[in-house]
Each structure stands twice: as C-alpha cells, then as structure tokens.
Amino acid sequence: MVFIKSKSDESHNDRAVVSTQEETRRLVGIDKTSQPEAASSISSGLSIVGKIVGHGALTIFGQVEGEVRASAVVIAEGAQMLGDVVAEELTVGGHLKGTIRANRVRLNSTANVEGDIFHRSLAIEENARFEGASRRSENAVDTASNAQKVVPITNGKGNGASDNPNP
C-alpha cells in the first residue's frame, strides 16, 4: 500500500524545511553547470557548543552556542543561535542573539534577532523582530577579520597592567 501526502496535509514544519533547503540551494548557487560548494547542516535534535568554521554553506536547524563562520549561513525557523556569525550571506528565520558580520543579511518574517548587525545590505521582512543596532559597512566580513588581529598594548611587563599608579 502506498501513502501519498497531499499538499493540504503538509505540516508547517515540512514547509519550513523545504523552504530552508531551497534557500540553501540559492545561497550556494547549486545548478547543473557548476560544482557546488560543500553544504552542511546541524539537525534540529543537535546542540553544539564551540566554534564552527567552514567554507561552504551551513544550515542550522538545532542549537548552536559559540561562533559560526561560513560562506553562507541559514538559521532556520525554530533554530537557536547564541554567539557571533560571520558570513558572506546570512539568512535568519530562527532566534539569533549575538553580533552579525555579513555582507548580505536577510531577516525572514519568523526571525528574532538580538544584537548588532554589520552589513553591506540588509533586508527585513514584515513581522521579523530585530533589537539592536544596524551599521552599514562596505565589507563587513573583512572588518571582522581585522578586528581579530588587534593586539592589546601592554606596558612591557606582559601583564596588560597600566603604568599609571593612579588609574
């Protein structure tokens, strides 16, 4: 016996996954003529704490606490991200609390973002929630790389303490 799910029976979650998969394909530029970049995903039952670095696309359905760096990042509806995101292109449909540094940022209608966004272009759909500051930067991703290269100035003692006895 074969069961076929009709379009009217499709659940909200199924539509969200299909929509997110389509968004990932668009971000990665998957077509028949080019070699696609590597695409990875973090499933809805998975929780990761730490730094995630990749050169392709990353779709997050689960929970991530830490820093994420990838070419294209999708934080799907229902996903939770606590930490900073650095990407060429970022689409948010879930909850993100942290700093965003991406050249192209899109907040879908289901997005809930708390934190600052450094971007070249920013699109916010109706009903998306955004609390923080938005700053335009010609290349937000390079700005993040330069920020990490900052070396603290010390007093020569190597402990970072001030030379001033009365701070």
DSSP string covering 38-104: PEEEE-TT-EEES-EE-SSEEEE-SEEES-EEEEEEEE-TT-EEES-EEEEEEEESSEEES-EEEEE
Residue 114 within any structural domain of the chain: yes
Indicate the pTM of the whole model.
0.67
Residue 17 within any structural domain of the chain: no
Residue 138 within any structural domain of the chain: yes
Q: Which one of 6-10, 13-17, 55-59, 96-100 scores highest in mean pLDDT?
A: 96-100
End-to-end CA gap in the chain: 80
Residue at token pair 């009903």? 127
Structure tokens at 9: 């029976």
Chain segment 99-136, per-residue pLDDT in tens: 999 999 999 999 999 999 999 999 999 999 999 999 99
What three-state secondary structure class fits 155?
A: coil
Residue 81 within any structural domain of the chain: yes
Enclosing domain of residue 72: 38-146
Chain segment 17-71, per-residue pLDDT in tens: 555 556 555 554 544 444 456 889 999 999 999 999 998 999 999 999 999 999 9
In Å, how far from its chain's centre is CA 2? 39
